[in-house]
Chain A
Amino acid sequence: DTGVSQDPRHKITKRGQNVTFRCDPISEHNRLYWYRQTLGQGPEFLTYFQNEAQLEKSRLLSDRFSAERPKGSFSTLEIQRTEQGDSAMYLCASSLGFEKLFFGSGTQLSVL
């Protein structure tokens, strides 16, 4: 069990650029989640996969956001045409059931 891995740890980008984050879940976990956390707030749910199927999406996930989980293993979260309001920490979690999520250390995005 190597834990949930997220890459990169930090990303600085200019407004209008596209960014992509990667999450590698714990290998036997079929559920994968993306959350976003801004300063002084708790994490907010973005989306959820069971295996390769994206089963739930938050209305926070605008058209500029897309997430994939090909083959039910790692997942990517892409943000197109980034805005300053996208600056946040993006957390990935995986699990066998919702009763216990295992979180990664997050990707901190700064949009200048």
Chain B
Amino acid sequence: AQTVTQSQPEMSVQEAETVTLSCTYDTSESDYYLFWYKQPPSRQMILVIRQEAYKQQNATENRFSVNFQKAAKSFSLKISDSQLGDAAMYFCAAQGGSEKLVFGKGTKLTVNP
């Protein structure tokens, strides 16, 4: 079973600045995946970035990168050069041992112009 904790209900960032969203997780699985999904006001969840736990190298997708600390069970998301379109709810999720994704409660990101 997995649990995912996002300790920041809300975060804000100035346009063009960098922001980091925190996530910790717990799992009994040795093989698992971690995800960040974005949910804009349209409600449609969109995959931002994915990390395979067996890979030591942190995943990167354009302006989005993760800091994966396996021993600490930490998986933070860094958004560089923030844009107004990045404003959304961000959910951290874990998957291992089954097809089920377990999500955290989310962090609401506001981008100020």
Contacts and interface: CB of A to CB of B under 8 A. Distances in A.
Nearest to B45: A103
Contacts of B95: 98
Contacts of B105: 40-42
B91 interface: yes
Contacts of B98: 56
Q: How many interface residues does chain B have, given as a range?
A: 20 to 34
B56 interface: no
Q: Which of A42, A98, A104 has the most CB of B within 10 A?
A: A42
B45 A43 contact: yes
A42 B93 contact: yes
Nearest to A93: B45
Q: Which of B44, B47, B91, B104 has the most CB of A within 10 A?
A: B44
B106 A42 contact: yes
B99 A31 contact: yes
Given A45-B102, A103-B45, 5 more contacts: A31-B99, A45-B101, A48-B100, A98-B33, A106-B44
Cβ-closest 7 pairs across A and B: A42-B103, A103-B45, A45-B100, A48-B99, A105-B44, A42-B91, A106-B43
